Structure 1
């Protein structure tokens, strides 16, 4: 009987992850200083912010695969304030390149490249971020942050100015136990649990940055509940997809 109850709880948990887990607000954060995080991108549809993303080369942005919509997508790069956008210089149409093995966020491979319609000009306001070359672990004891646009509380109003917050890494075994079951392969857990800091609806696709390097992509939390601490936040592990990313960047297409 107990096994049956645990199985039902786990199935319910997965349902929450699949239907309600995508994230985008920064909880308990603060405004990002000007001329920092120059790699941040706003992924938009019809001029409205949908997801975060981050610049990884002169013509590619990395984001989450679950951010894909069957509508023309654009990215805005070069501003922290979404009310201050020069459409001629900052807005780019994109080609979407989802990971070929992506199905849904809770199954893993929640990562997508966006090929910009034109190569952008790198300057003090626009600069790609370095990607992690190897797996990062909680025992590495590094300082990490997540950033994005969106509301500052569950079901709250969105913000126009980019915000960021510190988040602690969580050991994967601990993360699995807290989530009452298995995690997809190739993920990182950070924030949300044992801290009041984390992400929420809408900041999906933004980077988890540790020591100035992008190590993860915002993937999911549980049930759109951002009243932390409760459940760990889950990110796609960039190091597990580095060969796929580099192959497409080198081809200049996908």
Structure 2
């Protein structure tokens, strides 16, 4: 149909012009305090860190589908725990971040030992809409400036959720089931969080770092875009019963 043709053409134009950038860096953030965000996972290939992710049960990590670009070996949680990735699941019709469905589940070969070094983060139990202007956090090991190197320490930054209508004006043809936060009108966000890392609001993982505007990390002029996890709960629960938070 015409709408999907428009979406496809926009992807084509943005991709060819190098305008779509996967979220890879934390900009204007700070080092995450010790013993915080113990659910954060580094998704790794044989060459090291590829993407962020987060532990939602003892043996499942959530990350972004677009992170599935190189052979995934393992995830690293805490400072020293590596677990092999046994299986990966992403929506069968995931094609491109611009068409949405940018979510992937990684089944680990063994259960992570939960305790003082490793914890899980809960997801919402039902579909929800995060309020505009709510202040949330995004974290990652990505670069902390345009063209910089990946960082060794987990970095975190506060970002404000952006009204969906405002976001659509800035990103014509934006996919459904996304949350916009950070970037636009601020100097904070992810270009700026590792792809696959969580958007955390009130202690819940509500979003997954998906994309922003490429090479514009210092002063992003459009909102950063996250997959809205609450719209994929039924899909997630097909593979594993997740911990979720009931109001």
Q: Tell me which interval the TM-score lies in, with the shorter structure as reference length.
A: 0.7 to 0.9
How far apart in 2 are the matches of 1:18 and 1:110? 19
Count of aligned pairs between the two proteins:
233
Conserved? CA contact 1:16–1:223, under 8 Å: no
Q: What is the correspondence of 1:1-254 to structure 2 with a 5 Å cutoff?
A: 14-15=14-15, 20-79=20-79, 85=80, 90-94=81-85, 95-132=87-124, 133-139=126-132, 141-179=133-171, 181-200=172-191, 203-250=194-241
Give unpaired runs (5+ residues) of structure 2: 1-6, 243-247
* Structure-2 residue corresponding to 1:82: none
Conserved? CA contact 1:17–1:106, under 8 Å: no
Give unpaired runs (5+ residues) of structure 1: 1-6, 80-84
C-alpha displacement of 1:47: 4.4
Distance 1:18 1:234, change over 3 A: farther
How far apart in 2 are the matches of 1:100 and 1:66? 13
* Structure-1 residue corresponding to 2:4: none
Instruction: Please list the CA deviations of residues 48-96 of structure 1 after superposition, one character each: whole Å capped at 9, or x if unmatched.
Output: 11100000000000000000034243100123xxxxx3xxxx1111121
How far apart in 1 are the matches of 2:193 and 2:223? 17
TM-score, normalising length: structure 2: 0.87
Specify which structure has the higher proportion of strand. 2
Instruction: Please list the CA deviations of residues 15-58 of structure 1 after superposition, one character each: whole Å capped at 9, or x if unmatched.
Output: 36987421121000000011110100000101411100000000
Conserved? CA contact 1:26–1:165, under 8 Å: yes
Instruction: Classify the secondary structure of the residue corresponding to 2:179.
Output: strand
Instruction: Classify the secondary structure of the residue corresponding to 2:15.
Output: helix
How far apart in 2 are the matches of 1:19 and 1:10? 10
Specify which structure has the higher proportion of helix. 1
TM-score, normalising length: structure 1: 0.85
